[in-house]
Structure 1
Amino acid sequence: MSGLTEADLKMLAGARSFERGRGYLDAVSGVEVGDGWVTASVHGTERYEVELSLDGPGGLSGECDCPYGLEGNFCKHLVALGLTVLARAESLPRQRKAARGRAAGLDGWLSALSKDELLALVREQVGEDRQLRRRLELRAASARGDLSAVRARIRELLDIGPFARHGYVEYADARAYADQAGHAVSAIGALTGSGRAADGITLAREAMKLLAQAVECVDDSDGWLGQVGAGLADAHLDACRAARPDPEELARWLIGHALGELDDGLTDIDPLDYEDVLGAAGMAVLRKLAVEAWQANRRGWAEKYLMERLAKAGGDVDAVIAVHAADLAPNGHTHLVIARELDTARRPGEALHWAERGVREARDLAAVDTALVDHLCERYAQTDRPADAVALRRDHFGARRTLLTYQQLRAAARGADCWPAEREGALALLRADAEQRQQGRYGSPVLVDALLDDKDVDTAWQAATQTGAHDRQWLALADHARATRPADALGVYLRLAEPLTEQTGNAVYEQLVSLLLSIRDCHRLLGSPEEFIEYVTALRTAQKRKRNLLRLMDAHHL
């Protein structure tokens, strides 16, 4: 505990969550200190249970059942508990020592009890705690192999009835339902542990179906049922490893599950996890069934994904390529996936062929996957083919005509030492677009943006004057030209400031003040500061009711 600081909490949570956590100090209640851990409740949107591990293997860590915490983040509620712990730092060592003493005392007392005394104690607790009684009843039925009793109890555990209102479990009750459903996982594990693994397989599959039905009627926004589903998947795998079921039957079930035929929706089972259970014969059946399913539905997402996983696991690059090649996207993205697979397999010639084919077969070069174009240009650069890179960038720019494709063409052409000629052709296209009022990004001619990006301010100003420009572009032009064309820039700033004087809001005031600073700079360059003073004085008089604006102007000495 001596090493815990606010800096530790801020590092784990981040500045935003740390600051928000400060506001929850009064919401922390029920602090309980153990040996190395501290728990509490923090009242936010809901009441959340939080736990800090003070000196675990990885140092300070924490868990919270709020949505953000469930994603593995160190949330504001944990920050609030951490700050509470720091505020009680002097008493913490004493509380930890007391916790160790209580634990040792309890363990010693239980160890000294006779069997009859322990049984009496357990029976007393079972009589007082209904949930404990149900858990122990289920474990008892599992231990004695009473399959019908376990099956009936699992059905009860997965029944939404006790938690549902009008047939639906609301968000506020979903956690409690998931906690109850989680006991089904423990029951199946107990069956496997008691030598009834084959029954465990059967009940795990039945529970998956019941959970799939239940999830349709539960607000599982926080993913609690997903955790139950993952537990059932693990319990099924453990049972299979213990029981060693028929490999062919297991392979068929896994294929059905992977392709969604079982409609469980929550248990993300990877058939490859069962390789040790299936053995060579079972894996052969699994691959055969996967191929048949894929051949019957080559565009099915589940079929493609399963085939790809099996092919990669077997190191069969050609099979992976065949899966992707059966359903090529018109924008070339699938060609890129294939090219990357071949690159990884150290088959660069074939990879380059697929990438070039993707561009060649694209129905619309304007809609081609830009990552494919980038990938191909990188390969051209690596293989000393700068002219091909320029040609591809030229074609891509001609199809899209954006500032980005212009910049990419410029970079490729400079690398090939041919930018002046390429620039002339590219600007001709943009000039024709501007003259025809074909709008680019931001609803304004790309020509002005391209010229500004080239630092050709005078030509950009001329183009804006002749073909028009967006206010955003005029502002950029004025900023770039202010030092050499202060009178022209001043006209732009005054025009842009005028409509802002009719609007309200802090964001508007910040824009207006920024323009006023530029206007002042122009008057300074023009040697007319008195004109600026007159302008600002009149503006302040007209805007006197806008107190936030005047405060902002005062802060900038306007």
Structure 2
Amino acid sequence: MKSTLGFDEDELRRLAGPGSFERSRDYLSSVSALEISETTITATVDGTDVYEVELTGHERGLTGWCSCPYGQEGNFCKHCVAVGLTVLSRADSVPARRATAASRGRRLDAWLEARSRDELLSLVREQLADDRALRRRLELRAAVAGDDLDAVREHVLGQLDTRPFARYGSIEYADARAYGLQAAEAVSALRALVRSGRAAEAMEAAREAVTVLGRNYGEIDDSDGAVGDVAEALAEVHLDACRAARPDPAQTADWLVDHLLSDLNDVTDVTLSDYEDVLGAVGLARAYERVVPAWRAHPKGRAEKHLMEQLAKLDGGVDALIAVHAADLARSGATHLVIARELERAGRPADALEWAERGLREADPDRGPDARLVDFTCERYALADRRADVITVRRDVLRRRPSLAAYQDLRTAARAAGCWDAPQRSAALDVLRAAARPHQGLGHSGSALVDALLDDGDLDAAWEAAVDGHADSRQWLTLADRVRDRRPAEALTVYLRLITPLLALTGDATYEKLTALLLSARACHIALGTRDTFTAYTTTLRAVQRRKRKLMTLLDQHGL
């Protein structure tokens, strides 16, 4: 059942994980001071200490904050779950609680409106004396209302100052939200400047603010993304200010290129295309003058390459964009695929396929080409009814990178061409067999050979490969399950071998695996007519494992 905040038990379990979710039930009676507003739930939870909890509903889902040590590390803790479960258990009362919260707000508004000007001033001054953060916010608003740009700049940058929150040289998760709320005041002030017709002043202050926040961001644990949202808002208000102020396009291009070539853009994610209307032809030409030499000096630089891609897209010429990509081709063929897709979008399918084929040829000979490039090429071959070429590509991929997926892709292609005969299949299995390395025991990784034979339903050949040492415990278990009805004695041997190492381990997951294996072993004994032997086996097992109470409970539940 969904609550009116749009979450349910499954969402709480997903956010917290099964462990914290189950432990939260011990705290349901410890939830108090529950308050519910339109988007926020607050409460206290008595644990090792008294913890403050806040749950907030967003478009992107539910987030939780708790003052406990685990919550301060950015985790959705058991206390958050306890509060969420409490709300779900009282879902019918949520509308009334919201109405109560709204009523309290209206009473406060009415009380404030009834105060005289002097009373309100006295109240505000009283709060300013005790709340430094509030004082700074109001000082910023006062500066915006005045004509002193230096004062505005000083207060804007003051709102981005990390020092009051950096207790250990950086802003930890517990303080990041408070810092984000303070920094958001800078955005509000800059927007107010734009609305009041002082866009040029807002633009200059926003540029400096973007730079300052970009430098500070690496010192902030922004797990919730609150500070990142402020950075994006700063970039937006700068763009709005530029559109209103219409600054010199060449100077704007210089600032943008400097910013985009620095490492300060990671948090704001500004792009040249956002500023196309601000730059115009003059600004874009200036950007070309700046970016091209930088790219030629560092063609593999991430920022330089990204800028050249943006310029090429703005110019509208696919060949210019291809030249940028071609200057730094990945050995996997991934860049060839990017080029092929750009050419296909430009209506040049033949050139696109040529680049894709080139990517297949030039890919690392050991690792083989990117799987997406292979799929792209094979899809185009299939559309052109070039099925033999599809098989050739798929066979080469299997040879370079033997795997179940490569085997399946070759099998699908060969069947589509009507040539998946015994010699073709045998040759493909020989590739997997040559790549498989026999191992002793059950703990190693299995082989694609056994997986392929299982996928084909060739259980006899799969069993033979497993006996030769090509199977791990997962594959042995799958084999035993699939042959149990007709070969119960052999399957039983596998189950007993898998049970033995689990007897030395503990934990719920281990007990569940052990119980499942015992149930399978019992089915084998029943098929063999040796139920008494199984009963004697489980009697001995229970006597040895009797101290594992959870295991005993599971065995009782299944009649073992």
- Measured against the shorter chain, the TM-score band is 0.7 to 0.9
Indicate how the Cα distance of structure 1 residues 46 and 431 shifts in structure 2: closer, same or farther if over 3 A, else same: same
Using the TM superposition, give the Cα deviation of residue 381 of structure 1 relative to its aligned residue in structure 2, in angstroms: 1.7
Contact 2:34 2:44 in 1 (8 A): no
Q: Deviations over 1:243-271 (max 9, x none)?
A: 2111111111111111117x465333222
Q: Deviations over 1:345-365 (max 9, x none)?
A: 332211211111111111225
Equivalent residues in 2 for 1:302-341 (5 A)? 302-341=303-342
Counterpart-to-counterpart distance in 2, 1:538 and 1:64: 49
Indicate how the Cα distance of structure 1 residues 82 and 543 shifts in structure 2: closer, same or farther if over 3 A, else same: closer
Partner of 1:490 in structure 2? 492
Q: Deviations over 1:262-305 (max 9, x none)?
A: x4653332222222222232233234433333233211111221
Partner of 1:410 in structure 2? 411
Counterpart-to-counterpart distance in 2, 1:544 and 1:107: 69
Using the TM superposition, give the Cα deviation of residue 196 of structure 1 relative to its aligned residue in structure 2, in angstroms: 3.0
Using the TM superposition, give the Cα deviation of residue 17 of structure 1 relative to its aligned residue in structure 2, in angstroms: 5.6
Counterpart-to-counterpart distance in 2, 1:303 and 1:425: 47
Counterpart-to-counterpart distance in 2, 1:62 and 1:512: 37
Partner of 1:272 in structure 2? 273
Partner of 1:128 in structure 2? 126
Query: RMSD across aligned C-alpha pairs, in angstroms?
Result: 4.0
Counterpart-to-counterpart distance in 1, 2:370 and 2:252: 41
Contact 1:258 1:302 in 2 (8 A): yes
Q: Deviations over 1:20-48 (max 9, x none)?
A: 88866854536376xxx375533479635
Counterpart-to-counterpart distance in 2, 1:94 and 1:327: 61
Using the TM superposition, give the Cα deviation of residue 524 of structure 1 relative to its aligned residue in structure 2, in angstroms: 2.8
Identity across the alignment (%): 46
Contact 1:308 1:320 in 2 (8 A): yes
1:47 aligns to 2:47 (yes or no): no
Match for 2:347: what amino acid? R
Q: Deviations over 1:401-458 (max 9, x none)?
A: 222212221111111111122111122333444588799x953443333222211122
Q: 1:197 aligns with which of 199, 218, 225?
A: 199
Match for 2:200: what amino acid? A
Match for 2:490: what amino acid? D
Counterpart-to-counterpart distance in 1, 2:556 and 2:7: 39
1:29 aligns to 2:33 (yes or no): yes
**Per the alignment, in what secondary structure is the counterpart of residue 127 of structure 1?**
helix
Equivalent residues in 2 for 1:46-65 (5 A)? 47-49=52-54
Match for 1:258: what amino acid? L
Using the TM superposition, give the Cα deviation of residue 390 of structure 1 relative to its aligned residue in structure 2, in angstroms: 1.0
Contact 1:25 1:80 in 2 (8 A): no
Indicate how the Cα distance of structure 1 residues 328 and 85 shifts in structure 2: closer, same or farther if over 3 A, else same: same
Indicate how the Cα distance of structure 1 residues 379 and 78 shifts in structure 2: closer, same or farther if over 3 A, else same: farther
Contact 1:126 1:133 in 2 (8 A): no
Partner of 1:206 in structure 2? 208
Match for 2:181: what amino acid? D
Partner of 2:141 in structure 1? 139
Counterpart-to-counterpart distance in 1, 2:462 and 2:36: 69
Indicate how the Cα distance of structure 1 residues 438 and 280 shifts in structure 2: closer, same or farther if over 3 A, else same: farther
**Per the alignment, in what secondary structure is the counterpart of residue 366 of structure 1?**
coil
**Per the alignment, in what secondary structure is the counterpart of residue 285 of structure 2?**
helix
Counterpart-to-counterpart distance in 2, 1:189 and 1:7: 30
**Per the alignment, in what secondary structure is the counterpart of residue 41 of structure 1?**
strand
Indicate how the Cα distance of structure 1 residues 251 and 190 shifts in structure 2: closer, same or farther if over 3 A, else same: same
Using the TM superposition, give the Cα deviation of residue 546 of structure 1 relative to its aligned residue in structure 2, in angstroms: 3.9
Partner of 1:299 in structure 2? 300
Equivalent residues in 2 for 1:31-430 (5 A)? 31=35, 37=38, 40-43=41-44, 47-49=52-54, 79=84, 82-83=87-88, 86=91, 88=93, 91=96, 95=100, 98=103, 102=107, 105=110, 118=117, 120=118, 123-130=121-128, 131-165=133-167, 167-260=169-262, 263=264, 266-420=267-421, 421-430=423-432
User: Which segment is superposed worse, 87-96 or 494-503?
Assistant: 87-96
Using the TM superposition, give the Cα deviation of residue 317 of structure 1 relative to its aligned residue in structure 2, in angstroms: 2.1
Partner of 1:519 in structure 2? 521
Q: Deviations over 1:38-70 (max 9, x none)?
A: 7553347963555679xxxx9x998866799x9
Counterpart-to-counterpart distance in 1, 2:535 and 2:346: 71
Q: Structure 1 stretches of 5 or more lacking a match? A: 111-116
**Per the alignment, in what secondary structure is the counterpart of residue 419 of structure 1?**
coil
**Per the alignment, in what secondary structure is the counterpart of residue 159 of structure 1?**
coil
Counterpart-to-counterpart distance in 2, 1:259 and 1:17: 37
Q: 1:536 aligns with which of 529, 535, 538?
A: 538
Match for 2:323: what amino acid? A
TM-score (norm 2): 0.81
TM-score (norm 1): 0.81
User: Which segment is superposed worse, 513-522 or 213-222?
Assistant: 213-222
**Per the alignment, in what secondary structure is the counterpart of residue 199 of structure 1?**
helix
Counterpart-to-counterpart distance in 2, 1:305 and 1:426: 42
User: Which segment is superposed worse, 120-129 or 275-284?
Assistant: 120-129
Contact 1:142 1:190 in 2 (8 A): yes
**Per the alignment, in what secondary structure is the counterpart of residue 346 of structure 1?**
coil
Using the TM superposition, give the Cα deviation of residue 230 of structure 1 relative to its aligned residue in structure 2, in angstroms: 2.4
Q: Structure 2 stretches of 5 or more lacking a match? A: none
Partner of 2:555 in structure 1? 553
User: Which segment is superposed worse, 331-340 or 526-535?
Assistant: 526-535
Number of residues of Structure 1 aligned to a counterpart in Structure 2: 536
Contact 1:339 1:352 in 2 (8 A): yes
Counterpart-to-counterpart distance in 2, 1:548 and 1:166: 44
Compare CA radii of gyration and give the structure with the larger one.
1
Contact 1:28 1:40 in 2 (8 A): no
Contact 1:13 1:76 in 2 (8 A): no
Using the TM superposition, give the Cα deviation of residue 220 of structure 1 relative to its aligned residue in structure 2, in angstroms: 4.1
Counterpart-to-counterpart distance in 2, 1:269 and 1:511: 51
Contact 1:438 1:445 in 2 (8 A): no
User: Which segment is superposed worse, 127-136 or 293-302?
Assistant: 127-136
Match for 1:311: what amino acid? A
Partner of 1:114 in structure 2? none
Contact 1:52 1:78 in 2 (8 A): no
Counterpart-to-counterpart distance in 1, 2:324 and 2:350: 20
Counterpart-to-counterpart distance in 1, 2:36 and 2:470: 69
Indicate how the Cα distance of structure 1 residues 543 and 125 shifts in structure 2: closer, same or farther if over 3 A, else same: closer
Contact 1:328 1:335 in 2 (8 A): yes
Counterpart-to-counterpart distance in 2, 1:179 and 1:547: 50
Using the TM superposition, give the Cα deviation of residue 485 of structure 1 relative to its aligned residue in structure 2, in angstroms: 2.3
**Per the alignment, in what secondary structure is the counterpart of residue 266 of structure 1?**
helix
Match for 1:47: what amino acid? E
